Structure 1
Amino acid sequence: MGSMRGSSISSWALLVAKALEAGGHDSEDVFRRAGLDPAKLKDADARYPIEGMRRLWRLAVQVTGDPYFGLKAAGFWHPTTMHALGYSWMASDSLRDALIRMTRYGRLVTTVAEMTLEEFDDHFAFKIHSLITRSQTPNEAIDAGLATLVSMCRMSYGDDFHPLRVVTQRPKFDDPAPYIEYFHAPVEFSASDNILYFSKDSLEAHLLTANPRLARVSDRVVTQYLAQFDKGSTAIRVRAKLIDLLSAGNVTQKDVADSLHMSLRTLQRKLSEERTSYKELLDETRRELANQYLRQASLSVSEVTYLLGFSEPSNFARAFKRWTGSTPSEFRAAA
């Protein structure tokens, strides 16, 4: 199934295979030349090493002679391209929620990029920061990453979705027109990072595809996958345990440490090294689940209280007010 260290999920490489085949090229031959086993494309949990993915992107451009190959590959995106994260995305309440999921679980797709979403007074900035050197990152992979994210936004929001601005590390094309046309936005080339700027209205609008139950189930699959394969991230493993254990009642830090077969002190140290804490993870997980549960009319506020491991509705109401500024009932009425 492959290691998480310096890797991408195999379904991300499937975009390359489909784009090659659509152009009349033998994708299996290209994969083998890149040192990648094409059979792994049929294993949803498999991963490819980053070195092989780098060779694959560059070979694909050589074979096709298409400098815009990354954009072509993005056109084959499907929710399964990102395992269960694709379904979490499609079921999100808003594009803001979807992008927050991407920042949290993006390691499922690739372990060599860090994604962040920053809010400003009148816009949002979604940054994809590479954790490897610029020379190790194929331009086509950057193109595909940015274009796929915009394609995902359009699939959820509508074809009229456009970013405000695109900033990319890739050098300017001889003819940048197809690139600019794809994004329908101004593009800055040869930048120090990769950033998509979005309007607040577009990211905060409620999505017709929102499905809290599906989002919750998909999030659980994502966290289980990461907990199994991303052994280096204690925070991911703690989040997965919290999702599993919260409905059984109040979950203590010691409960989680015991379930992960480590001492309380070791758990605290590992989380501190990842710049987080048990309290922060517990709050984040409860807040996310609360937002999903309260959008399900079939669940009463009392039921949501106990599903989140609170002993009393009043305790849940206080916590929810602290998280959102509104009571659970006010939130449900406005949803």
Structure 2
Amino acid sequence: MRASIATAQDLGMPAIYLHLLAELLNTIGVDERDLLLRVGLDPNRLNSADLRVSQSQASEFVTRAIIESGEPGLGIMLARELKLPLHGALGTAVMSSPTLGEALELMSRYLTLRAPHLHVTRRDTGAHAWYRVTCDRDLGPLQGFIMDAMLFGCVTMGAQLTGATVPGSRVLRSGNEPNYFHRFRQQIPVPVEYGATEDALVIPLSALDMPIRFSDDQLAASSRAQCEDALKELTEDAGFACRVRRVIETSHPFPPKLARVAGTLFVSERTLKRRLQEEEASFQNLVDQVRLDRAGELLQNTGMNLSQIADTLGYADAANFTRAFKRWTGKSPSQYRAETLKPPFPGRHSSLTARL
């Protein structure tokens, strides 16, 4: 039996996908910013290749997006917008692969980085390779959306990789054809068969040797190594404290209240505190870690003054922010800004964070 979204491990969803969906909503007349704020997400934090949004918030946003747009085919619409560079190191690794077959092998191996609970397995039958897509849990309303985006997105990205629709390929979908699909059928350049026993992408074995337009052996090797590192880090970051931090990082307003984070993660405040304590963490310390990282980004990458930064980070005034920043780093914000314009402010595992 598959775990539910509320009880299973939450590896999060890349924030950039929700950013792309928000842009799509804007084109069809939905106030995407208002929708994000009502879900508790900061629209200004989603355009990031590094941040991840909790599964529960992603599911709520997608569900509300479908309801308020009146468009159940949002997953197919999103699939058309998926460009390979949006997929981080995995996108780079796929783009630099020598052949379509090797690109699909990489996608199958590292899919967890982009769609954590989907899995791809290959079997060869006759003259075709079948790439079956399964989900290890019940994602609720998010599942149909993700399957649409995943399978139809593969068709779009296959054309990006080879320069044309992969000949002889087709998409299989389990279940009955949804009522909305007829509006999109002509936009999908391969046959789509509903009523199948599985969700799968079927490709002729001969097509797997098709060359990739952007092939680069050196880049392929380095980006694959990055995928390995990222997968290891994501797996290591599967603890409860990481889940809490993930919610804090993308929350609006910032900093979020403990009760709001507990509700997002479907636990009581008492349980949240206890589980953090079991991992030798605390809610306030996680808030301070995120504040410090965001402070460094704002000091280095924007022209915001100290009062504006203090307000963004939830401080009453610049003096309170300055005292906190100096306590964390031993430097005033102005001194830090002057000394660290280059190189870029380090990420979440920076030495600054380690000082907290």
TM-score interval, smaller chain: 0.5 to 0.7
* Residues 1-335 of structure 1 mapped to structure 2, 5 A cutoff: 5-133=10-138, 135=140, 137-161=142-166, 164-169=169-174, 171-174=176-179, 176-231=181-236
Post-superposition shift, 1:164? 2.9
* 1:13 CA displacement: 2.1
Using the TM superposition, give the Cα deviation of residue 220 of structure 1 relative to its aligned residue in structure 2, in angstroms: 1.9
1:190 CA displacement? 5.0
C-alpha distance in 1 between matches for 2:103 and 2:131: 12
CA gap 1:16/1:169 in 2 versus in 1, 3 angstroms: farther
Distance 2:236 2:51 in 1: 15
Q: Offset of 1:191 from its aligned partner?
A: 4.3
Given that 2:128 and 2:204 are in contact with CA atoms closer than 8 Å, whether structure 1 keeps it comes out as yes
Deviation of the 1:163 alpha carbon? 5.6
Q: Distance in 2 between matches of 1:198 and 1:114?
A: 17
- Distance change (3 Å), C-alpha of 1:80 and 1:64: same
Q: Distance in 2 between matches of 1:193 and 1:200?
A: 19
Q: TM-score, normalised by structure 2?
A: 0.59
Residues 63 and 142 of structure 2 are in contact (CA less than 8 Å); yes or no, is this contact kept in structure 1? Answer: no
Aligned residues: 231
2:294 corresponds to which residue? none
Corresponding residue for residue 244 of structure 1: none
Is the Cα contact below 8 Å between 1:168 and 1:191 reproduced in 2? Answer: yes
Bigger mean CA offset, 147-156 vs 36-45: 36-45
Superposition CA RMSD, Å: 2.5
1:250 alignment counterpart: none
Unaligned runs of 5+ in 1: 234-335
**Seq. identity, %:** 23
Paired with 1:149 and 1:170, the residues of 2 have a C-alpha distance of 20
1:96 partner amino acid:
G
The answer on whether the counterparts of 2:122 and 2:132 sit within 8 Å (CA) in structure 1 is yes
Cα pair 1:154 1:160 within 8 Å, conserved: yes
Give the Cα separation in 2 of the matches to 1:48 and 1:134. Answer: 14
Could you tell me which runs of 5 or more consecutive residues in structure 2 were left unpaired when the two chains were aligned: 1-8, 239-356
Structure 1 residue 175 displacement after superposition: 5.3
Tell me if the contact between 1:58 and 1:138 (Cα under 8 Å) persists in the aligned partners.
Answer: no
Equivalent position of 1:311 in the other structure: none
Alpha-carbon displacement from aligned partner over 1:198-219 (angstroms, at most 9, x marks no partner): 1122222122321111111211
- Where 1:189 maps in the other structure, the secondary structure is strand
Provide the secondary structure at the position in 2 that maps to 1:111.
coil
Higher Cα Rg: structure 1 or 2? 2
Alignment partners' CA distance in 2, 1:163 and 1:59: 37
- Measured after TM superposition, the shift of residue 162 of structure 1 is 5.1
